[in-house]
Amino acid sequence: MSDADRIQRLKGALATGGLRLASLLPWRLNRLLGGLLGHLAASLPGRHRHITKTNIRLCFPTLPASAQRRLVRQSLVEDARAAVEIGYVWHHPDAILARVQSVEGDGPLREALASGQPLVLLVPHLGCWEVVNYWIGNHFSVHAMFAPSELPQLDDLVLRSREHFNSTMYPATARGVARLVRTLRQGSAMTGILPDQVADEGSGRFVPFFGVPAYTGTLSVKLIAQTGARVFVCTALRQPHGYRLIFRDPDPAIHDPDLDTALTALNRSVEDMVREAPAQYLWSYKRFRRATTGHKNPY
């Protein structure tokens, strides 16, 4: 085994060990620890605070400075809760599912499945998106893409967690996408996609996100067009004692044959969901890092 392999194995062991330790905390104590760490992070200079502050300034330019500072703090607290929470989430799927307190908008989703339509669920980086997979997998089934990291031990943990209920994961490759398309075309199947990741070079287009040019992946809208799927935007927001699941219809223009129009509608749909709980969005992610004409990397 090479030194590089040993280092990767060590990183994987440390990552999974840390997640395991976080999972041993009772759920309420886990939430409390995440909040305390978040308040500490919000009080100290650092990369995450800089990115969060930059994104909120770009996306909410008319928000008063005091309100922007408050949102930055709230967002960093939620980020820390998410980071501590994920160990518990991945190790205790059944316990997490039991904490789903309410589900909104699932009626149309059930009707669409009963009619034989394929479904595409757009799940932005908002709240605890892993809970959406648990709930869907427990009630129906879901087919989704999985992009492995460079840490096999961590990948094993994530896959076990996501496939704990009735979920099937496909590799994030051309072959995996083709298998997913075939499955959806058979009808009465659904997939979940994170629509707000920065796409690989050549796999996206620049369209507005909160009025800022954002390199947006085309996979979602192409999949929708190829399969004729019904689309929902969904999330699981943190509540004091659990989670609130929300399913919403997207902007209708997401079905437009013009790619840029459909992508713009996709981003508007994500924006609308983010406004439900802006502090729970992952503002510490470099969403605008790819530059375009008239827009430099702001970080």
Q: What is the pLDDT along the chain (299 residues), one digit of tens a residue?
A: 676 666 677 776 777 888 888 899 999 999 999 999 999 989 989 899 999 999 999 999 999 999 999 999 999 999 999 999 999 999 999 999 999 999 999 999 999 988 988 999 999 999 999 999 999 999 988 888 888 787 888 889 988 988 899 888 888 888 888 888 888 888 778 898 999 999 888 899 999 999 999 999 999 999 999 999 999 999 999 999 999 999 999 999 999 999 999 999 999 999 999 999 999 999 999 999 998 887 889 99
pLDDT at 7: 67
Using a 10 angstrom Cβ sphere, with 0-12 exposed, 13-18 middle and 19 or more buried, the burial of residue 140 is: middle
pLDDT at 3: 60
Complete DSSP assignment for 69-112: HHHHHHHHHHHHHHHHHHHHHHH-HHHHHTTEEEEESHHHHHHH
Q: Count other Cβ atoms within 10 Å, centred on residue 269.
A: 24
DSSP annotation of 230 reads E
pLDDT at 4: 65
Query: What structural domains does the chain harbor?
Result: 3-280 (3.40.1130)
pTM of the model: 0.91
Helix axes 27-43 and 47-59, enclosed angle (nearest 10):
80
pLDDT at 279: 98
Cβ atoms of 247 and 234 within 8 Å: the answer is yes
Cα gap 213→281, rounded to integer Å: 18
Q: Say which residues have a Cβ less than 8 Å from residue 223's Cβ, sequence separation at least 6.
A: 120, 177, 180, 181, 184, 191, 193, 229
Length of the chain: 299
Which pairing describes strands 242-248 and 230-239: parallel, antiparallel, or unpaired? antiparallel
User: Phi and psi dihedrals of 165, rounded to 5?
Assistant: -100, -155
- Helix, strand, coil % over all residues of the chain, rounded to 5: 55, 20, 30
